[in-house]
Structure formats: C-alpha cells, structure tokens
Amino acid sequence: MTSKEALIVLDREGRELARGTGTQERLACCAFATEDSALAAGRDVNRGPALLSLAIA
C-alpha cells in the first residue's frame, strides 16, 4: 500500500515486510511487478523518475 510518501508491504497477518520512501512528495499508486519488489509511482520532487521500487525482504 501507499500512504502519502511511503510504500509499505505487509504480509497477510499485517506484519510489515518492507517500508520505504523515495523522493516523491506524493505517492498515488502501487503494484507488485516483480517477485521480490513492489513498485509505486507519484510526483517526484527532483522531476523524475516517477516510479520507485522497494525490495521486499
């Protein structure tokens, strides 16, 4: 899930597996694109790139 600036990955029991922030001032959406990471996108303060990935432990 994304909150305003953080991308957070939880397991089924709600335990946090990974959390990270990029240089986005606002995250709008997320997706599981690869086996070991999650993607999120939003508005990057440094003018890009908009997509960040978070490695899942």
Contact positions vs another protein (CB under 8 A): 1-8, 10, 13-16, 18-25, 27-35, 38-55, 57
Residue 45 CB contacts under 8 Å (≥ 6 apart), including other chains: 23, 24, 25
Residue 37 beta carbon to another protein: minimum distance, rounded to whole angstroms: 8
The answer to whether 42 and 50 are in contact (CB under 8 A) is yes
Residue 34 corresponds to which tokens in the numbers above?
């690869």
Residue 46 beta carbon to another protein: minimum distance, rounded to whole angstroms: 7
Residue 42 beta carbon to another protein: minimum distance, rounded to whole angstroms: 6
